Every structure is written in C-alpha cells, then in structure tokens.
Amino acid sequence: MTMTENKQKEIAREIDEARQRFPYYGLYQFLATRGYSLVPRPGTRSGHEHETTGICTSSGVIRDFAGSYVVSEDKLAFGKATKYWRLSPSNSEMSSWDDAVHQASEEYGHRMHSLFCDNCHSHVARALNLMQYNGSHSWNMFKIWFFILFYGKCQFCRGFEDMGTFHSCVHHHWYNSGIFSWIVLTVT
C-alpha cells in the first residue's frame, strides 16, 4: 500500500460523512439560491450564493457563526460541507483545541453578523488566533478563505459519487477567486 493510500484511509477513518463529523477540520459550504446578486455567475439564472465556514472540535462537532448572535452546533448554516481543510492539533499552542473553539463560539454568539467585516470566516480565524495555530495571531477572514480555497479538499472528489456537486464545487471556487482577485487588483 502506498503512502497516499494510507493517508486516504486515515482520513476516511476520521471523517464520518453520514453524521457530518470532521475532527480537527475547517469546513466550507455553499448554496446557490434564486434572488438578487451583485455579481451574477455566468451560466446561472438570477441568483446569489450563500456560503459558510465552520471549525470542528476534536470530536468533529461543527461550530458555525451562522448569523447575528447565532453560533450553530453540529451543522453548517446551509447544509452539508462541500469542502474541508485538515488542521493539525499539534500546530496549536493552546492546551486545548476545544477550549479555543468554545471560546471563539461564545464570543461570536454575542456579535452581530456582517457580510464584509465580521462573519463565519472571522469566527474560524478567531478560534485559530486563540490557539495560536501555526504560531500565528494574524488569522483573518481572507487568510481563511485562501487556505480553504487552495488547501481544502472537495468532499465529493474522493469517489466522484456526485459529479454535479463536484463540478459546482470546483466552478464556484475558481469563479469566486477570479472575482476576488479582480477586486483586489482594481482597488490597489
């Protein structure tokens, strides 16, 4: 058995897709809905996309800043995770991973949700800052977005069980990264 096969088996053993348990993972989920959009996606009808990012405890329980004064537990705001980013508890300088996730969730349970300033990505960044993940206190929503985009794995990629969801996942992320890059280049 190759190292890659061993790694895939280890990940499969830890992740429980049926119960949506992802120990020590950052999660991403998106949902396209009909409605108003500032930047409509090509090939779609009038619609905008909702997305959410969460962080999991050591037992895999999801914590997600789902809206103003609401940090959901055990689920993402719009359904099942579409991407996951494996984090390592050994890169945390805090004695307890779960304490950092809990403290960040308690703080965000008393905050107003803001699409551009204080959102689910900020909640995950706060947890990583509290645990000093990778020795850093500078996690922010843009860094979280970047790491999930480039280091996250599409949940449906492993077996290609659902090609439609796989295609949507890949298309959504590359489209959004293009829009984001265009905005950054235009502003700077």
Q: In sequence order, what DSSP letters do the residues of 126-151 get, joined into one string?
A: HHHHHTTGGG-S---HHHHHHHHHHH
Q: 60 near 106, Cβ under 8 Å? A: no
pLDDT of residue 184: 57
Question: Exposure of 165 by Cβ count < 10 A (0-12 exposed, 13-18 middle, 19+ buried)?
Answer: middle
Task: Read off the pTM.
Answer: 0.71
Q: How far apart are CA 19 and CA 164, in angstroms?
A: 22
Q: Which amino acid is at 170?
A: V
- Number of domains within the chain: 1
| The Cα angle at residue 141 between residues 139 and 142, in degrees rounded to 5 | 90
Cβ-Cβ contacts under 8 Å for 146 (sequence gap 6 or more): none
- Beta carbons of 139 and 100 less than 8 angstroms apart: no
How much is the pLDDT for 35?
42
Digit-by-digit pLDDT tens for the chain (188 residues) are: 455 554 544 454 478 877 888 899 988 887 654 443 444 444 443 333 467 899 999 999 999 999 899 999 988 887 888 888 999 998 988 778 999 999 999 999 999 998 888 999 999 999 999 999 999 999 999 999 889 888 888 875 544 344 344 444 544 555 555 555 556 566 65
Please return the burial class of 150, using the count of CB atoms within 10 Å of its CB with bins 0-12, 13-18 and 19+. Answer: exposed
Domain that holds residue 162: 3-187
User: What pLDDT sits at residue 15?
Assistant: 81
Please, is 107 exposed, middle or buried when counting C-beta atoms within 10 Å of its C-beta (0-12, 13-18, 19+)? middle
Query: So what's the pLDDT on residue 20?
Result: 82
pLDDT at 50: 65
pLDDT for res 182:
58
User: What number of other Cβ atoms are within 10 A of residue 98's Cβ?
Assistant: 16
